[in-house]
Structure 1
Amino acid sequence: MNKIMIVGAGAMGCLFGARLALAAYDVTLIDVWREHIDAINTAGLKLDADDGEQTVRIKAGHAGDVAFRPDLVIVFTKTLHTATALESVRHLFGEQTHLLTLQNGLGNVETLGRFATAERIMHGVTNYPSDLKGPGHVSSHGTGYIRIYGADGQCTDAHRATADALCAAGFNCTLDVNVERAIWEKVAFNAAMNSLTAVTGMTVGEVGASTSGPLLARQIVAETANVARAKNIVIDADAIWQSIRTVFVEHARHKPSMLQDILQGRATEIESINGAIIATARAHNVPAPVTETLCHLVRMIEQKPAASPG
C-alpha cells in the first residue's frame, strides 16, 4: 500500500495525506480547487497539529493531472460528489487497487461498488478533528480513532496493510468486524447535530441550551437506533446521547458542516444522513417522524431561491 491516492483534499483529506506522506508513503491529493492545489505544489502543505507546525511536501492535482496506478484510494469527498470524483480517476484503477471510504453517512459502499469489486472495498469511520484554514493549510488538534473493515465482511492482507499504513502515520486505527455499528452510531450523532443546527442556524451550544433542542436530538438518536435495529445492527443510543451532551458544552461555539454549507449556499449531505435513515426506515416499516421532519426542513432550505442583489 505504498502508492496512495486521496480523493477530496478538504480538511480530512489533507490531514490524512500529510500524515501518510510524513510516514514516507507516496501520496497524491486529488481535488478540484485549483488555488489549493497550486498552494500545496508551490509551498507544500502546512500542517498545524499538537506536535507543532511543519510543512509537508506532497503531490496534489486535478484528476487529469495524474497518471499512476494507486494501491489504495481513500475517499474523503462529500457524499454527493463521490460518484463524479471517482469517475474522474477510475481509469487509473488496477485490479489490485483498493478503495477505502471514511465519509459521513450511509450508502458509501454502494457508491464505491460502481468502481471496484466488493473484496476491494473497505469502509470505516473516524472522528479525528481537522480544519482547513485556507489554501495549503490544515489544522488538527486533539485525538481520535479510525475503525475499518472489509465491506464484504472479510479481512484480507490488503485490509491489514491499510490499517498498518494508517497506524504508521500516527493514527489510532483498528480493524473492527463491527464497523457498521460504529458507522450507524456516527450517523445517529450527525443526524441530530447537523440537521438541528442547519435548520435553526444555531451553534451546537445554542441548540443544547434551548428547551427543545436536546429533546429533538435525543428523539432523533432513538429513532435512528430503532432503524438500525431493524437491520440487526444494535447501537448504543445512551452512549450517543452522552456524546451529544458533552459536545453541547465542550464544543459550544462549533458550527457543524451542514450548517456551514447552508450559510455558504452549498448543497448539504442531508440525503446520505437523515435521508438515508428515512429510506431505511421506510424499507423496514419503522417510524422516524422527527428525523424525517428535519430532513424535509433542510431540503426546503436548500431549495430556497438565492436572494436577488440589491
Structure 2
Amino acid sequence: MTDAGAGRVVLLGGGAVGSLVGGGLAASGHDVVLIDGWPEHVRAIRAHGLVVDTPEGEQRSRPEAWDLGEAHRLRGTNVSVAFLTVKLYDTDWAAALLAAWLPQGVPVVTLQNALVEERVARAVGWGRTLGAIGGGLNVFMAGPGVVRRAGRRGAAGGAVFKVGELHGRRTPRAERIAALLSAVDASAVTTDLWTERWTKLCANTMTTGLSGLTGLSLIETYTRADTGGIAVRLAAEAIAVGEALGFRLETLFGLPPRVWCEAAAGEPAARAGARDAMARQAAAMVEGGMSGTLQDLLKGRPTEVAFFNGFIAAEGGRLGVAAPTHARIAALIAEAEQGRLAIGTDALDRILH
C-alpha cells in the first residue's frame, strides 16, 4: 500500500525519537515495525515490550522489533509509510537501505533534525520524500527497551510535529501522515518545510552542543546566565546565516528574529525578552532532560553537532557571514568526541575566548 494509507508503519532507527514515535503509535493500535542496530534494544522490546516514560506516566506497547539485518523482510510487507529516525551521520546508508527494500511508492519521511531531505531524495526519489519536524520532544534512551521524555505532551501550545512536502504544497498524504503522528503529540501540515527546518536548526544549535560541552541539563542550559548568554549569541549568528541563505523566520521560541539579534548586541529589553523566552522553554520540561549531544558524549558515540553548529559555521564561512560561536562549539565538540576535552563547565571559558 502506498501514499500513507492502510498498512504497517516502519521506523528505521530505534533511538529516542524512533522509540517515542513507534511506541506511541503502537500503543494507539497501529501496526508498527521498529528496525534498529542495537541488539539489546531489539531483544528487550521483543521480550518485554517498549516502555515510553513521560511526565504523564508510563506507557508500554508491543511494536515489532527487527534487527538491521532483517530489513530485507520489508520487500514483501504491506507498508503505508516509513520514517527515517537514524542519527544524521547515518542518513546516507539508511536511505539506501530503504531504497533497496521498501515496496515501490511508499513515502519516506525524514523525522530528523537537520536539512537532509535532499540526501534522502537522491536515494529513494524526490516524489517519495517528505520532511517531518519534531519540536520540544526532549527524549533520551534510559536503557534497552526504555525511552524517557522530559517534555510534557502539549506543552508547546501548538503542533509538535510538522509534516511537509518538499514542493511546499498541501497534499492528502501529508495530511494523513500528520494525522498519524497526532497519536504521539499535536501535529500539523506545513507548507513551508524549509523555513520550519531552519527554525528548528536554530533552536537545536542554541543548546545541544552547549549542554554537551558543559554537562548541564537542558533546563540549566536555558536558565543559567552564562549559558543563556551564549545561547543568545548562537541564535543571532544562526539567524544571520539563515537570512543570507534566504530563510526568513517568523519567530524563534516565540520572539521575532530581530529581538534575538538585538539581545546579542546587548539591548536590555531584548535581553530580558530572550531570557523570558528561554525560561518558558525550561518550564515545559522536567528535571533531568539531557541534550542528545550530551547523551552521545557520555556514551562515547559521535555527535550530530557537525550537522548543527558545524553546518551553520561552514555555511557562514561560505557566504561571508561570521558565526564564530558556532565554529568554536563545533571545534570543541570534535575535541570532546576524541577524548581530548573533559565535559564540564570549565568549557565555557574556551567557548568565550
Counterpart CA distance in 1 for 2:187 and 2:32 is: 18
Indicate yes or no: 2:150 matched with 1:116.
no
8 A Cα contact 1:118 1:152, kept in partner? no
Partner of 2:174: 159
Deviates more, 1:269-278 or 1:255-264: 255-264
> 1:84 — aligned with what?
93
Q: Deviations over 1:201-256 (max 9, x none)?
A: 33345545655322221011011111111222222247364543334566565331
- Structure 2 unaligned spans of 5+: 155-159, 256-273, 343-353
Write the deviation string for residues 45-86 of structure 1: whole angstroms up to 9, x where unpaired: 233446654432211111322413433111111101222333
* Conservation of the 8 A alpha-carbon contact between 1:119 and 1:152: no
Which residue identity lines up with residue 190 of structure 1 in the other structure? N
* 2-structure distance, mates of 1:43, 1:248: 33
* Counterpart residue number, 1:179: 193
Q: Give, in whole Å, the separation in 2 of the partners of 1:117 and 1:6.
A: 18
Q: Does the C-alpha gap of structure 1 residues 237 and 160 become closer, same or farther in structure 2, counting only changes over 3 Å?
A: closer
Aligned position for 1:137? 146
**2: distance between equivalents of 1:113 and 1:120?**
7
Residue identity in the other structure for 2:217: T
The one-letter amino acid paired with 1:143 is: R
Structure 1 residues 23, 188: CA separation in 2 closer, same or farther (over 3 Å shift)?
A: same
Percent of residue pairs identical? 26
Q: For residue 132 of structure 1, give the secondary structure of its aligned residue in structure 2.
A: strand
Q: Could you tell me which amino acid in structure 2 is paired with residue 85 of structure 1? A: A
Alignment-mate amino acid for residue 192 of structure 1: M
Partner of 1:304 in structure 2? 339
| Aligned pair partner of 2:13 in 8, 17, 21 | 8
Cα distance in 2, alignment partners of residues 231 and 273 from structure 1: 15
Name whichever of 229-238 and 144-153 sits farther off.
229-238
**8 Å CA contact 2:105, 2:128 repeated in 1:** yes
For residue 232 of structure 1, the aligned residue among 239, 243, 246 is: 246
Cα distance in 2 for residues equivalent to 1:250 and 1:29: 28
2:263 paired residue number: none
1:285 partner amino acid: G
Question: What secondary structure sits across from 2:254 in the alignment?
Answer: helix
Shift in alpha-carbon separation, 1:268–1:119, aligned structure 2, 3 A: same
Distance in 2 between the 1:206 and 1:297 partners? 20
- Cα displacement (A) at 1:148: 1.1
Structure 2 residue matching 1:239: 3-state secondary structure: coil
* 1:114 Cα offset (Å): 2.7
- 2:225 counterpart of 1:215: no
**Which residue is equivalent to 2:280?**
246
How is 1:200-211 mapped onto 2 (pairs within 5 angstroms)?
A: 200-207=214-221, 211=225
- What is aligned with 1:19? 24
- Asked whether 1:292 is paired with 2:327, we answer yes
- Deviations for 1:97-133, whole angstroms, at most 9, x for unmatched residues? 111112112x311221232222211112112343433
Amino acid at match of 2:153: T
Counterpart AA for 1:133:
A
In the alignment of these two chains, the number of paired residues is 305
Per-residue deviation, 1:172: 1.3
- Does the 8 A contact of 1:73 with 1:98 survive in 2? yes
Query: 3-state DSSP class of the match of 1:133?
Result: strand
Distance 1:219 1:239 in 2: 17
Partner of 2:51, secondary structure, is strand
